[in-house]
Amino acid sequence: MGRLLRLAVWAILGLANAGCLINIYSSDPNRRMKELLVVSENLRAIEYEWERIWFTDEPSHLTPDRVDGGIQ
């Protein structure tokens, strides 16, 4: 019984943290739009940071164009 109770408490805490039980956005449409823009900007910044960490924002060295690196 105690294990089931602990599982239920953890499930409720997990759902509340995910925004299922407690809404994380305002009910005012104008304020909600500002909040969604901030969240989407943060996600975009995370994507660019991830590309920078994995060096996928650098040019590929597998291009067929040969570049000697000298001044043209």
Q: Going residue by residue through the chain (72 aa), what tens digit of pLDDT does each one get?
A: 889 999 999 988 887 776 666 677 888 999 999 999 998 888 888 888 888 888 777 766 666 666 666 665
For residue 3, the model assigns a pLDDT of 92
Q: What is the pLDDT of residue 70?
A: 62
pLDDT for position 7: 92
pLDDT in the model for residue 49 = 86
Q: Domain residue spans in the chain?
A: 31-58
Q: Measure CA 39 to chain center.
A: 8
Q: What count of Cα atoms within 13 Å lies in the side-chain half-sphere of residue 30?
A: 0
Question: What pLDDT is recorded for position 54?
Answer: 83
